[in-house]
């Protein structure tokens, strides 16, 4: 379902010229990110579920930690960029295409990917430097940062402080920017006199708000706490939801009420949108 839903969004956004806009450019990046996020941990989880001896090589564990953390950090920043895109679309509609130029969109996307992978590299190196004293049992579905910190046999307070600072930068600050953006958006929508216009403006933001709530809700509950007080059972459920369930829901959230995507899908499938509408 994850592969089908996210691949469909990417292909439709690429094939339909009417969807060659900043909004769908960012949405395609989100879908590609979700594809990578799920496939970085999903196959190993499925193997271990059907295996009596649930193991993972150390090199694979390190790769899994680095890639999944990179993609998680990138998604935090990308959702903030998408909120800014919606702010410009609703609050500065006449200047939208001028402000959200193709060059700026490419620069913003490149920046969030570089920042996400750069932060993950730092976190991974700091975690791998900790001695494990023979501990090699990860009580989790996959190799995740708080679970690996608990394997250390030394004081990890410095790592926890650094992780908290990183969480503020990559979770709390982007969420704050999203809330500020939507504060301006709500104020602009309330100034629209037409009820139809207000509904249209709300619909353009409702999908993004739903995705933000799902992603940031689980992310904050997982990382805005010291790993020493990290509940392994709750952490497993939240992480599994974030990495396996959310990427399934995102395409559904963005397409169920989106008439532009529905029309593009009918074009790709060779159906006449006008005939379908009548």
Question: What span, in angstroms and rounded, lies between the C-alpha atoms of 266 and 272?
Answer: 7
Residue 223 belongs to a domain: yes
For the CA atoms of 190, 86, 167, 58, the dihedral, rounded to the nearest 10 degrees, stands at 150
22-34 pLDDT, tens per residue? 988 999 999 999 8
**Structural domain of 43:** 2-267
Mark the ranges of the chain whose per-residue pLDDT is less than 50. 275-278
Residue 25 belongs to a domain: yes
pLDDT at position 100 is 92
Q: What is the CATH number of the domain that holds 260?
A: 1.20.1070.10
Number of domains the chain contains: 1
61-97 pLDDT, tens per residue? 888 889 988 998 999 899 999 999 989 988 888 899 8
Residue 62 belongs to a domain: yes
pLDDT at position 118 is 93
Residue 276 belongs to a domain: no
- The burial class, CB within 10 Å (0-12 / 13-18 / 19+), for 116 is buried
Residue 275 belongs to a domain: no
Global confidence as pTM: 0.84
Question: What span, in angstroms and rounded, lies between the C-alpha atoms of 15 and 156?
Answer: 50
Question: What span, in angstroms and rounded, lies between the C-alpha atoms of 26 and 106?
Answer: 10
Residue 38 belongs to a domain: yes
Residue 278 belongs to a domain: no
pLDDT at position 277 is 47
Residue 27 belongs to a domain: yes
Q: What six digits make up the tokens of 252?
A: 């559904």
């Amino acid at each position: 379902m994850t592969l089908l839903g996210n691949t469909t969004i990417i292909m439709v956004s690429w094939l339909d010229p009417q969807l060659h806009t900043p909004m769908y450019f960012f949405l395609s990046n989100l879908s590609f990110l979700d594809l990578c996020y799920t496939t970085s941990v999903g196959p190993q989880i499925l193997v271990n579920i059907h295996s009596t001896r649930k193991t993972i090589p150390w090199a694979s564990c390190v790769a899994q930690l680095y890639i999944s953390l990179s993609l998680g950090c990138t998604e935090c920043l990308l959702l903030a960029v998408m909120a800014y895109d919606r702010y410009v679309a609703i609050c500065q509609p006449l200047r939208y295409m001028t402000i959200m130029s193709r060059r700026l969109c490419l620069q913003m996307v490149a920046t969030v990917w570089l920042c996400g992978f750069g932060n993950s590299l730092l976190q991974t190196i700091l975690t791998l430097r900790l001695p494990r004293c023979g501990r090699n049992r990860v009580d989790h579905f996959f190799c995740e940062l708080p679970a690996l910190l608990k394997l250390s046999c030394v004081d990890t307070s410095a790592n926890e402080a650094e992780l908290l600072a990183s969480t503020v930068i990559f979770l709390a600050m982007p969420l704050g920017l999203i809330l500020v953006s939507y504060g301006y958006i709500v104020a602009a929508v309330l100034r629209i006199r037409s009820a139809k216009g207000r509904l249209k403006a709300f619909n353009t933001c409702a999908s993004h708000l739903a995705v933000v709530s799902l992603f940031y809700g689980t992310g904050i509950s997982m990382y805005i706490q010291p790993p020493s007080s990290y509940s392994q059972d709750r952490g497993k459920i939240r992480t599994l939801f974030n990495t396996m369930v959310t990427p399934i829901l995102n395409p559904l959230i963005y397409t169920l009420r989106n008439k532009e995507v529905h029309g593009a899908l009918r074009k790709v499938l060779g159906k006449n949108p006008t005939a379908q509408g009548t």
